[in-house]
Structure 1
Amino acid sequence: MKKKQHDWSPADQAEQHYLVQPRTLAGGGDIRHVSEFLRASGWRDRSRTGGPLRMESPDRTLRVAFDPYVLPGGWTIHGRANGPNGEWAAQLGERTPVEIVAGLTDALTRPRAAHAPNVWAPLEEQQWDMRFEGENYVATSPDGTAWMQYHQSTDGSAIWWTGAKDKQGNGWAAHFTPNTPMHLVQAFSAELAGPEPVMRPRGHVPLSAQIRTWSVSVKPSRLIAWQQARITAARASTWARNSAKGSRPRTTAPSYTPAGSVRTRR
């Protein structure tokens, strides 16, 4: 009797991962969660072999970098001055979960929504505690491990601080310069407050008494499929935007030459 063939290979055997909650204390994660989405959205990879990650937007006005080799290491997102918008930057610590970083960096690839942004709305939806502390307006997560602060200077500029920390002092911090577009800060706060756990492989789960974990077995092919779905969505969105730009009607009239006149070549 012929033996039945199995449709799996040793390379695709399930591996142990962990779902971690709260996501704010899950550790940095795989930076390709950010970089591959940007690459699929048409961004250029300016990284040097063996060096820190450096990505640049197609119009060269935005840059995203991750450098773990300097102190303090972490993420830098930078926007050049553009028309009425001034130069801005965001600095995020090395242990900022990539899913939260992607809240901001994914938003860099999308058109700005027509409605006015509200940074606090995602936090209020998740029952964060809102209060004034001196001159700062502060929001704290229900478990007290994550926060977001707002301070308005006398010149009207707004500065944002945010981060997470457990009782052992492990965590991360981030800040946004005054000119950071508010829709980007809102996109960040939405992921900051997200209640869903995030996944980390075995050996990459922080040691903290304030996280909860669930062991799950996942095949490498399944992980690749999840990653590919995210990349495919980025490519489809980019293609749709570029197609819409190409199909827009002309807004300027063609040059007009009166009958009988002759154009002079130069």
Structure 2
Amino acid sequence: MRVFVTGASGFVGSAIVKELLQAGHQVLGLVRSDSAAEAVSKSGAEPYLGNIEDLESLQKGAAQCDAVIHTAFNHDFTRFKTSCEHDRKVIQALGMALVGTNKPLVITSGIGLLNYGRLVSENDRPDGSSANPRVATEEAALAVNEQGVNTYIVRLPPTVHAAGDHGFVPYLISIAKEKGQSVYIGDGNNHWPAVHRLDAAVLYRLIVEQQPAQKVYHAVAEEGIPFKQIATVIANGLQLPVASKEGTDAEAHFGWFKHFASMGCPASSEQTRAIVGWKPVHATLFDELVPGIYF
């Protein structure tokens, strides 16, 4: 199978590329720069120079392949809503390239959309009135599915971890370093699910290979880690105090990240494991919150 992967040089995308190649598939990997193209080429994949702003180019890449895995996303949170709306356009464009082919389109969403403070499953859907702009991603996936595209949604947890992570946990560490303490909000009992990037990559592969009837999957190895525990481990790793803050004090500490720091989105992957046989085997988040990886 030849698979078009957007974000092929990214943290998750590069792991997917490696997983697909090891399973004997061919990969056409979207990259934005010559250096990224070189890295993708060295991995054994074919680089496809372009970017997610060029929708026509994306469609041409998708049309050349037997499946599409979309992981590219602009993580500039100063323009988060704009990025989410553009992701809607990207998914629509990829979908239009696949209409009538039955080729799978696997898009990437986030467990954080289901910030319900309870254990959520693959059957749960984001609230249509959600204040989280990221809902645009799943709305677009459902829209192209209704147009006959064989669409799948993979929801990633707030922390997809491993060496090289530049997501939420490294950001928490940077805030703690800057402010001189590691902080949780209130009692810190809001839970974050987690997964190792290599385990997540396996799930994407299983979906394109099996193309099952189920359309939504959770890349969740750990259902929910209390945020207080994450903050405490970070404090220990940096040899800093840990503290609870609320209201304006929490706002002053976290800034725009307060929404994510207070997020409670424990999630099950029971259906995912049963349907495609996904079995996470790599290190847990706390296994990796050690010197040499995150510190």
Q: TM-score, normalization: structure 1?
A: 0.30
Bigger radius of gyration, 1 or 2?
Answer: 1
| Structure (1/2) with the larger helix percentage | 2
Greater RCO, CA 8 A, separation 6+: 1
| Structure (1/2) with the larger strand percentage | 1
Q: TM-score, normalization: structure 2?
A: 0.28
